[in-house]
A and B are shown apart, each in its own frame.
Chain A
Amino acid sequence: MIPYFKKMAGGGQRPPKVNLSEVFWSWLGAFLGITPVAYLNYNLLSGNDFVYIIGSFGASAVLVYGAVRSPLAQPRNLIGGHLLSAFVGVACWQLFHPFPWFAAAFSVATAIALMHVTQTLHPPGGATALIAVIGSEKIHELGFWYMLVPVGIGVGIMLIVALAINNMASRRKYPEFWF
């Protein structure tokens, strides 16, 4: 048991802090990326739906504007992760909607597994799958169109902004790889 608890002590070192220039570019990218996505979704969705979906894109913003070298932030992961998770979420709702609690858990777990298998792991994808289940009737009525609007369009906008902004910084490069 002792080695088990020893693992919880950590003991490793955290990565170093980034410089102010990096902070600036992360802020600018996130601001310019989320603004159009938020504006679009604000007009399309309402109430909790808007809160949920913007939460998922906010998480993506951390990666694609704040950790641009991360494998999780690359276009393959950003696009693939969101779209596959959206598909899984919609499918889970349609299959298991009499048991929303089960559909919620099953969608997130399956989305993670699918992202792993397809090498498209993107943490906000879990939220995208979940939203397809816990969202309002308006979300459910979209069916698989949910993959295109709001998810696909939002991802597309964020990717275009990431390409434009991240490559303006002299010491940044995005993406590391496409597919």
Chain B
Amino acid sequence: MNFSRINECFQTITDEDVLEAMREIPGYLDITPSDFIEVYRIAFDHAVNRIKTAILAEHVMTRTVVSVLEDAPLLETAVQMRDHDISGMPVLNEQGAVTGVISEKDFLSRMTEKKDPSFMQVLIQCMDDSCCLARSLKTLKVRDIMSSPPVTVHKSFKLLDVANLMDRRKINRVPVCEDHNILVGIIARSDLVQAMC
């Protein structure tokens, strides 16, 4: 998620827009259109920053989270991800605390030895090999391939910090927890986009 690009989208105000606005306001305005645009852009940046820091993780998170237990079989987990049309989910222990995150990437990682696995990488390897690469996963549990320790955020995190974290760690979703890492929601990149628009 690139906030600066979103900001640029909002900053497409033109000289003509300003002149039109100045015509609609009665009286002589003692300011040039370029001065107005400069003031507008700086004020806009302040407003965006205020909004970014005012919105908390708990305001934008999805509260009904599809999750899986650590000792769930991978086959069952894959079926769950397919049925819910999701590409990843938090992994919980018996107490409901987040202990990891499992995603398509974790499955792919186990199916190829290459670094930075991708679907295409696995497909190529599949076409080269005669056996199915997924077969080796059938007997494994979630805890065997999940990414751990998980990247999570507290529900009181500012949205800007959440976005920066996801950008820095190159992740598409982040579980939202309250104290003791208890899961209360999840934020996906799409949630960030909606919150900013």
Q: Could you say which of A15, A26, A72 contacts B29, with CB atoms under 8 Å apart?
A: A15
The answer to whether B27 and A13 touch across the interface, beta carbons within 8 angstroms, is no
CB closest residue in chain A, given B19: A16
Judge whether B15 is part of the interface by a CB distance below 8 angstroms. Answer: yes
The answer to whether B34 and A69 touch across the interface, beta carbons within 8 angstroms, is no
Question: How many A residues face the partner with a CB closer than 8 A?
Answer: 19
A38 to B63, CA, bound (A): 74
The answer to whether B29 and A69 touch across the interface, beta carbons within 8 angstroms, is yes
* Interface 0/1 of B18-50, CB less than 8 Å to A: 010011001111111110000000000000000
The answer to whether B28 and A22 touch across the interface, beta carbons within 8 angstroms, is yes
Q: Give the distance to chain A from B80, nearest Cβ to Cβ, in Å.
A: 60
Q: Contacts of A26 on B, CB cut-off 8 Å?
A: 28
A55 to B33, CA, bound (A): 30
A82 to B129, CA, bound (A): 91
The answer to whether B32 and A12 touch across the interface, beta carbons within 8 angstroms, is yes
What is the interface of chain A mostly: helix, strand, loop, or mixed?
loop
A68 to B19, CA, bound (A): 19
Judge whether A66 is part of the interface by a CB distance below 8 angstroms. Answer: yes
The answer to whether B22 and A16 touch across the interface, beta carbons within 8 angstroms, is yes
Q: Could you say which of B23, B27, B30 contacts A172, with CB atoms under 8 Å apart?
A: B27
A71 to B32, CA, bound (A): 14
Q: Could you say which of B27, B30, B32 contacts A14, with CB atoms under 8 Å apart?
A: B32
The answer to whether B27 and A171 touch across the interface, beta carbons within 8 angstroms, is yes
The answer to whether A67 and B30 touch across the interface, beta carbons within 8 angstroms, is yes
Q: Contacts of B34 on A, CB cut-off 8 Å?
A: 12-13
Q: Give the distance to chain B from A35, nearest Cβ to Cβ, in Å.
A: 22
Q: Contacts of B30 on A, CB cut-off 8 Å?
A: 67, 69-73
The answer to whether A13 and B28 touch across the interface, beta carbons within 8 angstroms, is no
Q: Give the distance to chain A from B29, nearest Cβ to Cβ, in Å.
A: 6
* Interface 0/1 of B102-131, CB less than 8 Å to A: 000000000000000000000000000000
CB closest residue in chain B, given A171: B26
Q: Contacts of A73 on B, CB cut-off 8 Å?
A: 30
Q: Decide: A66 near B28, CB < 8 A? Known: A12-B33, A13-B15.
A: yes
Q: Give the distance to chain B from A165, nearest Cβ to Cβ, in Å.
A: 13
Q: Contacts of A16 on B, CB cut-off 8 Å?
A: 19, 22-23
* Interface 0/1 of A25-37, CB less than 8 Å to B: 0100000000000
User: Which of B's residues lie within 8 Å of A, judged by CB?
Assistant: 15, 19, 22-23, 26-34
Apart from A22-B26, A67-B27, A171-B27, 12 more pairs, CB < 8 Å: A13-B19, A15-B19, A15-B28, A16-B19, A16-B22, A18-B28, A68-B28, A69-B27, A70-B30, A71-B30, A73-B30, A172-B26
**Closest 3 A/B residue pairs (Cβ):** A70-B30, A171-B26, A12-B34
